[in-house]
Amino acid sequence: MQSMETPEIQSSFAENMSYFDRGLEHAFAWFSGHFGTLLFIFFIGLITILVARNVNRLMESYFKKANSKLHMDTTSFRMFRHIVVAAIYFIGIVVVIFSIPELRNLSVALFTGAGIAGIVIGFAAQNTLSNIIAGLSLALFQPFRVGDRLDIMNEYGKVTDLNLRHTVILTWDNRRLIIPNSIISNEAIINWTIEDPAVIWPIDVGISYDADIDLARKIMIEEARKHPNVMPPQEVKYSVVKPSLIRSETLRVGFFDSPVLHPVDPEFRERGGVSVSVVELGEYSVNLRLSVWFKDRSIAAGSGCEIREAIKKRFDKEGIEIPYPYRTIIYKSDLEKEKKNNEKTSHTKEDKLNTL
């Protein structure tokens, strides 16, 4: 039995080795015949990568040097830099295609059937094209810029990059939130930096119903005024014809900054005011809201926590109670005992009446 199986195994092994040898021969022959083409593709690819990286590096260094003098817009420049780099890679691919007859004939065939190919490519690259178009739209209309601070998708962070595909946001806890441009262009965004960065920040504190509201208000205002990041009382001048800040600010348009005045609502021209309002009469506390002005959103959250801590310590010294939630818990067994006691008392009353 073993003598019969051995020749079959040896023959199948020999056939596989012969197929493998013929495959190696075909591959070697193909590489020998197309060695010049492969070398040309490698050379063009290497040159394209080197040119793209050097151009990217040169544009970045030029921006750093020229930004202090020309006040170039970071967002538009980064988008322009990404477009230039992508164009260099595209030119390299086109050079390779039209320098090789086989690839050129294939490209002509594809262009001949451009209708069907366009439909197929359009469906395949739908997300990519939508991200590119959305990225160009964001760079043109600029609902936010590189360096702005946003609230988006339940996250707060700083915009660090905007390219053809996505936007990168550095969150408050040092995470990188990468959002495709087609998604971010359809999201509702709170831009804390655009035009007027000053912000009114609320700090909520609850006191007991027995506490003195006027004393609590006085303490909260005093502790807020002690904090160095709270804006002092001031009035921002504005034009009656066209409300705007009278100060040397700029609104970035295109690649260069043009000196214009930021619009400001007349209702918010008085800044630095600190106020305390009763916002709710809760179940167990009187809820007060301290409204404080900060120069921008980046310092508001941390400063608000520090002010809240100072208020708590001051309340402890002044004897103002911040109450715990009060709850009355009734057990079912207690209800049954109370029911039985009520029945007993009713029976005793009936017995007394009957004896009378």
Provide the edge-to-edge strand list for the sheet that holds 286-294: 199-207, 286-294, 275-281
pLDDT of residue 314: 94
Provide the edge-to-edge strand list for the sheet that holds 149-152: 176-180, 166-171, 155-162, 149-152, 190-191
pLDDT of residue 141: 81
Q: Where are the domains of the chain?
A: 2-138, 141-191, 199-233+272-318
Class of domain 2-138: mainly alpha
State pLDDT tens for residues 314-325: 999 999 998 887
Domain 199-233+272-318 grouped into CATH 3.30.70.100: yes
State pLDDT tens for residues 211-266: 999 999 999 999 999 999 999 888 776 544 444 444 433 334 444 444 444 556 66
**What is the pLDDT of the chain when averaged over all its residues?**
76
Asked if residue 312 has pLDDT above 90, the reply is yes
Tokens of 241: 């014809």
SS (H, E, C) 127-182: HHHHHHHHHHHHHHHCCCCCCCEEEECCEEEEEEEECCCEEEEEECCCCEEEEEHH
Domain 141-191 grouped into CATH 3.10.580.10: no
State pLDDT tens for residues 33-67: 666 777 777 888 888 888 888 888 887 777 777 66
pLDDT of residue 93: 81
pLDDT of residue 135: 85
Q: What would the mean pLDDT of 159-187 be, rounded to a whole number? A: 89
User: Predicted confidence band at 298 (pLDDT cuts at 50, 70, 90)?
Assistant: confident
Buried residues in 164-195 as b, exposed as e (16+ CB within 10 A): bbbbbbeeeeeeebebbbbbbbeeeeebbbbe
Q: What would the mean pLDDT of 144-155 be, rounded to a whole number? A: 88
Measured CA to CA, the distance from residue 73 to residue 235 in angstroms comes to 30
Averaging pLDDT over each range in 103-107, 270-274, 284-288, which range is the top one? Answer: 284-288
Q: What would the mean pLDDT of 163-170 be, rounded to a whole number? A: 89
pLDDT of residue 127: 78
Nearest to 86 by CA among 59, 118, 123, 120: 59
- What is the rounded radius of gyration, in angstroms, for the C-alpha atoms of the chain? 37
Residue 113 DSSP label:
T
On the question of a common fold for 2-138 and 141-191, the answer reads: no
pLDDT of residue 92: 81
